[in-house]
Each structure stands twice: as structure tokens, then as C-alpha cells.
Chains A and B, each alone.
Chain A
Amino acid sequence: MAGLSRRTFLATVAGLSAAWALPHEALGRSLSAPLVRGEGPTTVGQTILVGSVRTGSYRVLRTGPGEPYYPRLDLTGEIPDPARAQRRRSLAYVGHLTDMHIIDAQSPARFEPMIAQDHALWAGAFRPQDTLTTHVGASVVRSIADVRVSPVTGAPMAAAFVTGDSADMLSRLETRWYIDLLDGVPVTADSGVAAQYDGVQSWPQAYYAYHPEDPTGDWFGAYGFPAVPGMLAAAVGQSVDSGGLPVPWYAVYGNHDTLLLGTLGVPFGLRELAVGGRKYWDWSPLAMDYLQSWTADSSALTRMVHAATSVLGLSYGQRAVAADPARALLEPGEFMAAHFDTTPFPGPVGHGFTAEGMAAGRTYWTVDVGPAVRAFGLDTCNAVAGPDGAVPRAQFDWLEAELGRAQAERRLALVFSHHNSLTLENDAALATDPQDLVHAEEFVSMLLRYPCAVAWVNGHSHINTVVAHPRRADDGPPGGLWEITTASCVDFPQQQRVIEVVDNRDGTVSIFGTAIDHAAPAAWTGDLSPEGLASLSREFSANDWVETPSMRPGSLLDRNVELLLPAPFDLSTLTDAQLEAAHAADRARLAAWEAGWTA
């Protein structure tokens, strides 16, 4: 503790010890020790690669060498001073989770049959690992907890940010499971009849789906996917315990938390289908049912057609399943409200969303991360139609005002959203409710007007990508903005990221991005435990050809990176004592998590 005075340090220890019910002396010893780089598993130490062919075109996975940090010079143009590694100090260390796509795979409101109509167009409607998303989610949470101490500086993790598509099909159950996974509440990914999978992966008519009991004759079997007897029963029959995140987490909306399949509006008939006792295996009647629902929505006509097709035996292309009211689709605003039903730790209640925001329908927020960094969470989703997004003008104006304030207060700004700069062009709007929507070019231009905005962190495309947005000479000081897009938990490579902002004490800032593989083993060994199923899911995702898995890890410039940029203001006014006090609070919180949140 070089920065804190002895008196302040003792007072800090006493306060944190009382707050977290931690032993005073042990905490004091812990906090007085210097920061030591974390040794949790990252892709700097080991990577996961696609390995040899097992059957047909199906390949297994293997481990590969680690990847060192690649210094990105796009915004500085100069080879950085090697001595910065000895000088640097951590300003904020956070986790980034995105696109978890937690799935209730037995829901009648899923659109799996549509892949038979056009596999590429409907690729997200069915994946062979659909039943295994909570297992991956738990494995992701464990991997983030494993790197709770920075692999770069040893700083404690202060927060985690979840940039949307947390649920897959706008489902109340999926939303609950995702929140519980991050909170550390055990989850069983089951609906309908308990511990008994009933859906397209066990129905012989669904030739387009992967049948793990015997894939002979289905599309995935033809590719070479293996038989995995017992997989479905294990997937829906076991409780999954993630252990929970060790830090407060904050969430934003994704398009899958806003629209059905992240793309389509929800007519009344789909809401009935979700909780009802029939599920489609054939795409044409499913499509017709969906189209009919739009003709009259909740009118008597829609209800009559549904009743008539059932009574007259015209319900071809579907099978009876157990109705389950828990499968209800989210109502508008319900995703945000669900974040208030949470455990006290890691918190916070609302996870960024506020009671005031709930009352006003405001789905964006801001929160400070230590004394140097301010985070902004946006809602870039289009609630009318389409997977891509835009920024509503009112939200854009709010963010610009807030960035002005952050600049004046000398706070570095991290902006979190679901959509990225390649997917911020959706203009869909109702004729009765036209909206002024801001697209990528104008949005980035605005961010660049505020040098405090150092990074825009997002997801959506399921591809690791890091892009520099340089500031033009006419628009302000040299430098610019880093855009960090992290992959997903559902498609290969199922990687997430940790991000650290450091002051190099030479007029530059570095943002370290470290790709994190989830904790399950690279090579699946036949294990059907929750961890084994997470491993199997990653292997399936590497073979889900329609998702073009080989492009999704990104390049060397998109995974483990040091992103340099000029400091937007003099950071020396931020004292070491301020940072050490913040680190002490974060270290005490991690100690409390390690003790099981016994405070």
C-alpha cells in the first residue's frame, strides 16, 4: 500500500472487515500484500483448436499454445515504450459476457423446423447444442470467476458487464435461468414433464435436427455427428450450479431479449403456442400459424382458427407436448423487471436498471467503476423487427450529455451495448410510431467528440473483433476509440473476455482484452456431467457448419490484445491512494465471495 497512509489503510481494513464480516487481521494481511498477477486460465496460456476428423466431416477439439498480447498501434502509430509494463497501474478490471443465448429447448415457441425451409437464413433457430446452454453458461461463470484477479496487473475484478442476448427466445424461463446462473442459484434447464426431454431432438419426423440417441438419417448424422446416448436426459435432468459471479454485474438488452428469435414481433398466437400443449416439427404449418397470427393478432378470428385446426384434426406437422405456463414469453418491459428479482450478492438489485428507469421505461443506465472509469449501458435494440439495431435519438442525446459530464469530471468512459458498428443500421419502425434512429456513423462520430470515451464494448455478431475508430485531426486531439466485440457462449469458440484499462504513466492508456475459454475441458471424454456437457457443447459448436465456426474466433488482432491510445487528459491527478482504496474494496468483495458471501 504505497498510496494509502497507514491511518487510512487501517480505517479501510476496519470498514471492509465489518462490511463483509471478514476476519480483521487476515483481511489486513491480504490487503497489505502487493497486487500479484492472477494465474487463472486464459488463452494467453493455452488455446483450444479444431483437431482431427472423428467421423465424416466431424472434428474433435484439442488444446494449442497460448497467444501473447498483440499490441495494437492503430491509434498511436508508434511503437510503445517497453518500460510501460513496469510503470503501469490498473484503472479498472472488468468481465465482459455477451450472447449467452440461454435456451429452453423444449419450448413450443421455438422455431427449429424453420431450418428445413432455409438452414442459413434460420441458422439460429436450431443448433445441436440447444439443450446445453445452461451448462455452458455455468462453465462461463466459473471461468470468469477463475480470472477474478487480473492476468496483467493483479488488480481485482470490479464488475462484469453482460451485453445482451442473454435469453434466446424471449422466454421467461430462459431469462430466469440466465439471472440465476450469474447469481449462483442452481438451475435445471427443464420444462414440461420433469426430467424428460420432449422435442425435435427425439422426434423421428424432425430429420433436420440432431438426434443424439441415434443421428442416423438426420442432417447432423450425415455430417458425422456422433451418437451420444443419454445426452438429452442428462441435459434436462441435472441441476447446474455456476458458483455465481464474484462481482456486481450489469446488463443491457439484446435483440433476443426484445424480439422472438431476436428478429420477429410476437403476435398473440405465439404467446398461446408457447404455453400450450402442441409443438411443431414441420416448418410449413408453423410458418402459416405465425403468419395467421399476424392477420388478426388477438382477435376472435385467430382464436377460432387455432381451435378449429385442433378440433378438426388439421393440426398436421405438430405433436402433443405437456403444456407449461412457465414457458410464457416475456411481455414488454419484463426483461428489465426480471433483474430486480435477484440475490443480494453479487448484486446490485436491478443490475444497472433502476426503479426510476422502470417507471419511465428507460432501459439504459450509467455506473461508476472505481474512481477513474464510468460505464454506460445502452439499449440499441429495435422493438419492431430485425436482428440489427440503432440508437434512439433520446438515448443518443442522453449519452452525449453524460459523456460531456464524464469528460468534465475526468472519467474514462466505457460504453456497453449489444449491437456493434457493423450492425447499427436497422430502420424498422411502425407507421404509427415513427422513430428518429441514430446509425453507426453518427454514433461513432459523437463518441469521438468526447476523448474520455476510450472503448465501446459490444457483441451481437458472435465474432471476436477489435476495431479502431481514429479521430480525425479536425475533430479533436489525436487518438480515438476502440471498439471491442466479444464472441458468444453459444457458437464456437464460446469465448468471453476480460478487459482492463491501465494508465501507462507516459501519456498513454492501454486497454487489455483477454479472450477466455469457458472452464470445461477442450476435449470431450464422454462425460455427461454438467461440465462434460459444456465441453460437448463447444465441440458441437465447432462442427455446426452453417454457423461458419472457423471465422468466429477472429484474428490475432481480435483476441488477446493491448489497445493503445493517448490518454484523453492528465491522469496523474488521479492518486495512487484513490486507486488503492478502490482495489481494497474490490479485493475484500472477492474475499467475501470466496467465503461464500457470508456477510
Chain B
Amino acid sequence: MDGVSARGRLCLAAAVVGLSVAAVSGCASQVSALAPVGGDDITAVRNAAIDVVTGHTLLVKDAPRCTQVAERFSCVGPSTDGSPIIVDAPVDGSTMIVTVGATVLYSGPVQDVLDAASRGEPVPTTVAP
């Protein structure tokens, strides 16, 4: 506690309470600004989906474009042979499904794919439901 008494903490806390109303109004914009940099979650899904597709040695004609609707991310984009690449994942990335044409290439956590890619390991196999 670095030499500070419990009474000291209480005194300071009281002073803080006395100022808190003004503090809340004075720094509301600052508190509301406390948000992570935008786009990390949707980028993770996009990157993992591309890792899955390229990990299966498929060429991508148009990188999948991802959008968020409610609590899910979805991505679409063609491979060079024209087959549609379709990606679906909840925003928490717990279970991503990557489909090319009629083939499900991957169903499992986003993080597992990203970890494998960063280690130079093969794309993980589909996790059974």
C-alpha cells in the first residue's frame, strides 16, 4: 500500500465523491472515447478465412469482403475458378464456417486458424460439432 493508511484512502475517496458529479460532466466525452481501435474482430475473421482458403492452395480472385449484421460476420468473395467463398462467424469468433462452392473447408474457432498460421503450421482440420 506504499505507506498509505485506510483512513487516507477514505479521505481521498470522500474528496473524489465530492467532485464526481462535476467530473462526470466534465469528462464525459473522454470516458465515452474509451473504446478499442475499430475493426479488429471483423479483420480477424477475414484474415482467418483467407488463411483457410489459401491453406487449401486455392487462389483467391477477389478477397472476401466482410460485413457485420447484428451479432454475426459474413464474408463473400470468389476464388479464381469462380466458386463462391462464403464465411460465417459470430462476432466472438467461436465457430467460423468457411465454404468454397459446396465444400466446407473449415468449421471451428477463428483463433485456432490464426494461431496455426502464425506458427507456420497447416490449417487445422474442421472441428466436429
Binding site for B on A (CB under 8 A): 47, 49-51, 64-65, 72-74, 77, 79, 120-121, 123, 205, 263-265, 281-282, 285, 288, 290-292, 294-296, 305, 309, 312-319, 384-388, 420, 422-423, 425, 428, 430, 460-463, 465-468, 542, 548-551, 553-558
A290, B110: Cα distance in complex, Å: 38
A288 & B16 in contact (Cβ 8 Å cutoff) = yes
Q: Which residue of B lies closest to A124 (CB)?
A: B37
What residues of B have a CB within 8 angstroms of the CB of A263 in the complex? 33-34
Q: How far is the CB of B114 from chain A (nearest CB, A)?
A: 4
B8 & A556 in contact (Cβ 8 Å cutoff) = no
What residues of B have a CB within 8 angstroms of the CB of A296 in the complex? 22
A291 & B27 in contact (Cβ 8 Å cutoff) = yes
B37 & A553 in contact (Cβ 8 Å cutoff) = no
B16 & A558 in contact (Cβ 8 Å cutoff) = no
Q: Is B63 an interface residue (CB 8 A)?
A: yes
Q: Which residue of A lies closest to B23 (CB)?
A: A291
Q: How far is the CB of B47 from chain A (nearest CB, A)?
A: 5
A50 & B26 in contact (Cβ 8 Å cutoff) = no
B47 & A551 in contact (Cβ 8 Å cutoff) = yes
Q: Which residue of B lies closest to A558 (CB)?
A: B47
Q: How far is the CB of A263 from chain B (nearest CB, A)?
A: 5
Residues 33-87 (chain B) with a chain A CB within 8 angstroms: 33-40, 42-44, 46-48, 50-51, 54, 60-63, 80
**Sample of 22 A–B contacts (CB below 8 Å):** A65-B120, A72-B63, A74-B62, A79-B80, A291-B20, A292-B23, A295-B23, A313-B3, A314-B4, A314-B11, A316-B4, A317-B2, A385-B32, A422-B39, A423-B39, A467-B63, A550-B114, A551-B43, A555-B51, A555-B117, A557-B60, A557-B63
User: A317-B4, A422-B43 in contact; A460/B50 too (CB < 8 A)?
Assistant: no
Q: Which residue of A lies closest to B27 (CB)?
A: A294
Choice from B15, B50, B114 contacting A305 with Cβ under 8 Å = B15
Q: Which residue of B lies closest to A59 (CB)?
A: B119
A555 & B47 in contact (Cβ 8 Å cutoff) = yes
Choice from B29, B44, B61 contacting A384 with Cβ under 8 Å = B29
A425, B39: Cα distance in complex, Å: 11
A548 & B51 in contact (Cβ 8 Å cutoff) = no
What residues of B have a CB within 8 angstroms of the CB of A291 in the complex? 16, 19-20, 23, 27
User: A285-B12, A551-B40 in contact; A64/B19 too (CB < 8 A)?
Assistant: no
What residues of A have a CB within 8 angstroms of the CB of B119 in the complex? 49-51
What residues of A have a CB within 8 angstroms of the CB of B44 in the complex? 548, 551
Q: Is B111 an interface residue (CB 8 A)?
A: yes
A27, B58: Cα distance in complex, Å: 48
A181, B71: Cα distance in complex, Å: 44
A317, B13: Cα distance in complex, Å: 13
What residues of A have a CB within 8 angstroms of the CB of B103 in the complex? none
Counting residue pairs across A and B whose Cβ atoms lie within 8 Å, the total is 158
Q: Which residue of B lies closest to A295 (CB)?
A: B22
A466, B62: Cα distance in complex, Å: 12
Q: How far is the CB of A47 from chain B (nearest CB, A)?
A: 8
What residues of A have a CB within 8 angstroms of the CB of B33 in the complex? 263-264, 385-387, 428
What residues of B have a CB within 8 angstroms of the CB of A315 in the complex? 4
A264, B34: Cα distance in complex, Å: 8
A292 & B16 in contact (Cβ 8 Å cutoff) = yes
A12, B62: Cα distance in complex, Å: 44
Q: Is B128 an interface residue (CB 8 A)?
A: no
Q: Is B92 an interface residue (CB 8 A)?
A: no
Taking A65-B120, A468-B63, A548-B40 as given, write out 8 further A-B residue pairs in contact, using a Cβ cutoff of 8 Å, ordered by the A residue number. Answer: A50-B120, A291-B20, A316-B2, A387-B33, A387-B36, A387-B38, A422-B42, A555-B54
Interface centre among B46, B47, B61 (most CB of A within 10 A): B47
A385 & B43 in contact (Cβ 8 Å cutoff) = no
What residues of A have a CB within 8 angstroms of the CB of B12 in the complex? 285, 288, 309, 314, 316
Q: Give the bracket for the number of chain B residues in contact with chain A.
A: 35 or more
Choice from A73, A294, A466, A550 contacting B111 with Cβ under 8 Å = A550
B30 & A294 in contact (Cβ 8 Å cutoff) = yes
What residues of A have a CB within 8 angstroms of the CB of B27 in the complex? 290-291, 294
Q: Is B1 an interface residue (CB 8 A)?
A: yes
A69, B111: Cα distance in complex, Å: 25
Ranked 3 nearest A-B pairs via Cβ: A316-B4, A422-B39, A385-B33
Q: Which residue of B lies closest to A556 (CB)?
A: B54
A387 & B35 in contact (Cβ 8 Å cutoff) = yes
What residues of A have a CB within 8 angstroms of the CB of B15 in the complex? 305, 309
Q: How far is the CB of A169 from chain B (nearest CB, A)?
A: 15
A317, B8: Cα distance in complex, Å: 11
A465, B8: Cα distance in complex, Å: 50
What residues of B have a CB within 8 angstroms of the CB of A123 in the complex? 36
B118 & A50 in contact (Cβ 8 Å cutoff) = yes
What residues of A have a CB within 8 angstroms of the CB of B16 in the complex? 288, 291-292
Q: Which residue of B lies closest to A51 (CB)?
A: B119
Choice from A74, A388, A465 contacting B43 with Cβ under 8 Å = A465
Q: Which residue of B lies closest to A301 (CB)?
A: B19
A532, B50: Cα distance in complex, Å: 34
B63 & A49 in contact (Cβ 8 Å cutoff) = no
User: A292-B16, A316-B1 in contact; A550/B115 too (CB < 8 A)?
Assistant: yes
What residues of B have a CB within 8 angstroms of the CB of A65 in the complex? 120
Q: Which residue of A lies closest to B113 (CB)?
A: A550
Choice from B38, B47, B50 contacting A422 with Cβ under 8 Å = B38
Q: Which residue of B lies closest to A203 (CB)?
A: B2
What residues of B have a CB within 8 angstroms of the CB of A74 in the complex? 61-63
A13, B26: Cα distance in complex, Å: 63
Q: Which residue of A lies closest to B77 (CB)?
A: A74
Interface centre among B27, B43, B62, B119 (most CB of A within 10 A): B43
Q: Which residue of A lies closest to B4 (CB)?
A: A316
What residues of A have a CB within 8 angstroms of the CB of B39 in the complex? 420, 422-423, 461
Choice from B9, B22, B117 contacting A316 with Cβ under 8 Å = B9
Q: Which residue of A lies closest to B118 (CB)?
A: A550
Q: How far is the CB of B54 from chain A (nearest CB, A)?
A: 5
A557 & B50 in contact (Cβ 8 Å cutoff) = yes
Q: Which residue of B lies closest to A463 (CB)?
A: B43
